[in-house]
Structure 1
């Protein structure tokens, strides 16, 4: 299905006008906020269906909430009634709290800043837009008789359209806020709820009774009592074991015995793990000693340990004095002229890897450094657009940096297509671009 085209049809100018009247915001800002929320909700649901529990939750909410598309037929009439509109908002916000737990507030703040509307308006639009998206998905489930796996696969079929349609200025914050790194890079896939019996017959779990993952109070049930006793027993055992372990180590220490404990390094996977509670707050800048004006470029390079002039490339020689001087403001852009791709493809030239390795060294040398990779492309071929190609290229560089141990929160990736805006009416001819830049966001 063409999900975004369907949603654009449903969210007509008449519908947006009535929504804007309800939340008391300008229609232009309302439309921009709704668009941003459509991208956010669809992307969030894709991420949710990468786990079996998420697949079940989405399908069960559609079934239990009777999202079958019927409400779309008279949506304009419903939105005339404030009471009915509020019901849709409440229903959608309840669902989003289950499907994207602990993210409602952060999504509201993101949309509020993106569209320039009040935070309360963004939260109301989040509930209403969620309900509309689920109605469209539910209609697809009903018409095509999809099970949970079919719904997840159908949703993931929109990934390419998702990457192409999300505006370049919105994509970085959407990816980081909702945790869509694996989605946009094409590394994620919908979870499959299938198992094979010993006899060799394939059994699809979608045929099993629907599982309810909603939180419920089971304190009065036998199962709830048994669960509590079981948890209590486990806690008691853990405390006993901990006491015994502490006693043994205390005894060894008192007898003059020393033990060497293993120190396990935090793995790259842990650094890249996406949780809804991860804070994306930019760290406060700490005082950095200013390099004296009399210090030469070669001295700075030697002091930081990056490389000497004999072994460093132009990138290191350009960035080292800038990053080492706290008096220079952040925001400077450096061209990554050493990174290039084969025309119309995602295949890097062999010499590009050396620049990526060098960039990795720079990021490790300056652990507070946060950057934005900005890509431009004018050589798209086949199914690619210049915008999607430019984004995929910089995202590929980001993935390599992450694989080398760089925390993904330190790297933004933005694709700007040819660099020429579609709505440019100046009449002045502008050259299309094919390059990759790196912008320093935090020093």
Structure 2
């Protein structure tokens, strides 16, 4: 049974009803909030364990807080007592402040908006849900006799289940708020602790109790006895030689600085026509790096008909020149304020090689055309919705579709578009996993752009 199935079993209807009564919120909204918090906490802990410090902190909190799964066996009865419930909230609140520092308020606001509950209720649920999640993780540590590295690996083993089960209407805000781009794209991995610790300490090199071996690292001895060579002739000569050497080095450094100063002043005028890097450019570049996704770097011949992104900037200055289907379809709609927002347009001409993030010939021109439209209409905000049915090598269709739209978002930001104007959503095949209608539905492989604000 995976982590999310275990949590679903622990957070059964009886437990959720008691939690809803404690925070004085409707059961349906409480269920929605707790569900969102489970994914938020697990995703945040995955991100935390990508660093060695985070791995150690999570394991230490589970050990010191005695999170051993005992709570999950009797959770419904514990929640009958308001005092015990309050203690669980405080305990989880303290732990989450250490494991996900400076994120408590933003998570509370996100869950409050997502579930439609009070912000104070969302904060209380964050503490309570954190305690429950840590007890479930602690039970795994106890039952499987995991060390810190084993815990981190076990947590990351849930990544695929995490990607495929997060509600579609919650996924974009969760990724943006908690910063899970690397987790979703499969780039992040759990950190491994160093095999050597501080001097004088011992470290277990394996996670199995039967095969643990201890290596003691001792401090090297340090000799503090002074060495006196000042009274000898060789010592005096050495001092004079060192003095001359230092003086020579200083002269070389001064000459080098002088020459560089002259060269800099002589070339400053030539650099005056170089585009200044603004704060917005730096911010966009920072966000771009945070959204990096794996791209197939295998050398491929450049298609002759492909229009580079850089050349599409000229489209705005030449109305109608090189305009593609996207411009022809969207411009009349965006220019007519009487037409309501929400219309979706297919990115015709944009396609990927099966199972990869490599675009086909001509696709880059479509991305450039979309960037030009966003620059021409500065109030425009869009949502990129991706579908995929060609995932390969263990990657899910939902994960592949999410990676592709994030790649397009990254390229748009590189061209100067504010990331706040672009939302990205991957819907996999487009057929819901819980669809019980028995009506045949075709799986999809496409990307559309939906207008959120005109």
Does residue 311 of structure 1 match 2:327?
no
Task: Give distance in 2, aligned partners of 1:70 and 1:134.
Answer: 11
Structure 2 residue runs of 5 or longer lacking an equivalent are 198-202, 208-213, 217-267, 291-312
Distance change in 2, residues 1:46/1:369 (3 Å): farther
Distance change in 2, residues 1:365/1:180 (3 Å): farther
Q: Which residue of 2 aligns with 1:270?
A: 286
Higher gyration radius (CA):
2
Task: Give distance in 1, aligned partners of 2:167 and 2:336.
Answer: 34
Distance change in 2, residues 1:323/1:27 (3 Å): same
> Offset at 1:36?
0.6
Does residue 341 of structure 1 match 2:352?
yes
Q: Which residue of 1 aligns with 2:88?
A: 88
Distance change in 2, residues 1:101/1:388 (3 Å): same
Q: Deviations over 1:217-269 (max 9, x none)?
A: xxxxxxxxxxxxxxxxxxxxxxxxxxxxxxxxxxxxxxxxxx99996554354
Distance change in 2, residues 1:366/1:56 (3 Å): farther
Q: Deviations over 1:255-294 (max 9, x none)?
A: xxxx9999655435424477xxxxxxxxxxxxxxxxxxxx
Root mean square deviation of aligned Cα:
3.8
Does residue 390 of structure 1 match 2:405?
no
Q: Deviations over 1:346-374 (max 9, x none)?
A: 55333322212333344455555432101
Task: Give distance in 2, aligned partners of 1:375 and 1:185.
Answer: 14
> Offset at 1:321?
5.1
Of residues 409, 412, 435, the one that matches 2:446 is 435
**Are 1:371 and 1:412, in contact at CA under 8 Å, matched by a contact in 2?**
yes
> Offset at 1:181?
1.6
Task: Give distance in 2, aligned partners of 1:102 and 1:140.
Answer: 28
Distance change in 2, residues 1:166/1:149 (3 Å): same
Q: Deviations over 1:43-99 (max 9, x none)?
A: 111122222332222222112211121222222221111110111011111111222
Distance change in 2, residues 1:270/1:384 (3 Å): closer
**Are 2:315 and 2:323, in contact at CA under 8 Å, matched by a contact in 1?**
no
> Offset at 1:395?
2.8
TM-score w.r.t. length of structure 2? 0.69
Task: Give distance in 2, aligned partners of 1:156 and 1:316.
Answer: 43
Q: Deviations over 1:119-170 (max 9, x none)?
A: 2222211111100111111122222332323222221221111110001111
Does residue 35 of structure 1 match 2:25?
no
Q: Deviations over 1:390-412 (max 9, x none)?
A: 33332333344445554543321
Task: Give distance in 2, aligned partners of 1:369 and 1:330.
Answer: 10
Alignment of 1:279-298 (within 5 A): none
Q: Which residue of 2 aligns with 1:356?
A: 367
Task: Give distance in 1, aligned partners of 2:367 and 2:165.
Answer: 28
Q: Which residue of 1 aligns with 2:50?
A: 50
Distance change in 2, residues 1:159/1:399 (3 Å): farther
- Secondary structure of the 2:71 match is helix
Deviates more, 1:354-363 or 1:83-92: 354-363
Task: Give distance in 1, aligned partners of 2:183 and 2:438.
Answer: 38
Alignment of 1:316-335 (within 5 A): 316-320=327-331, 322-323=333-334, 330-335=341-346
Q: Which residue of 1 aligns with 2:63?
A: 63
Q: Deviations over 1:312-364 (max 9, x none)?
A: 21223333455566676543322111112345655533332221233334445
Deviates more, 1:136-145 or 1:265-274: 265-274
Alignment of 1:385-424 (within 5 A): 386-402=397-413, 404=415, 406-421=417-432
Deviates more, 1:100-109 or 1:132-141: 100-109
Task: Give distance in 1, aligned partners of 2:89 and 2:76.
Answer: 15
Deviates more, 1:131-140 or 1:26-35: 26-35
**Are 2:316 and 2:372, in contact at CA under 8 Å, matched by a contact in 1?**
no
Q: Deviations over 1:173-226 (max 9, x none)?
A: 1111111122212222222332679xxxx99799999xxxxxxxxxxxxxxxxx
Task: Give distance in 2, aligned partners of 1:429 and 1:54.
Answer: 46
- Secondary structure of the 1:74 match is helix
Task: Give distance in 2, aligned partners of 1:442 and 1:92.
Answer: 39
- Secondary structure of the 1:19 match is helix
Alignment of 1:184-333 (within 5 A): 184-194=184-194, 265=278, 266-267=281-282, 268-272=284-288, 304-305=316-317, 307-320=318-331, 322-323=333-334, 330-333=341-344
**Are 2:325 and 2:348, in contact at CA under 8 Å, matched by a contact in 1?**
no
Distance change in 2, residues 1:406/1:192 (3 Å): farther
**Are 1:272 and 1:407, in contact at CA under 8 Å, matched by a contact in 2?**
no
TM-score w.r.t. length of structure 1? 0.71
Task: Give distance in 2, aligned partners of 1:304 and 1:360.
Answer: 10
Q: Which residue of 2 aligns with 1:6?
A: 6
Aligned residues: 366
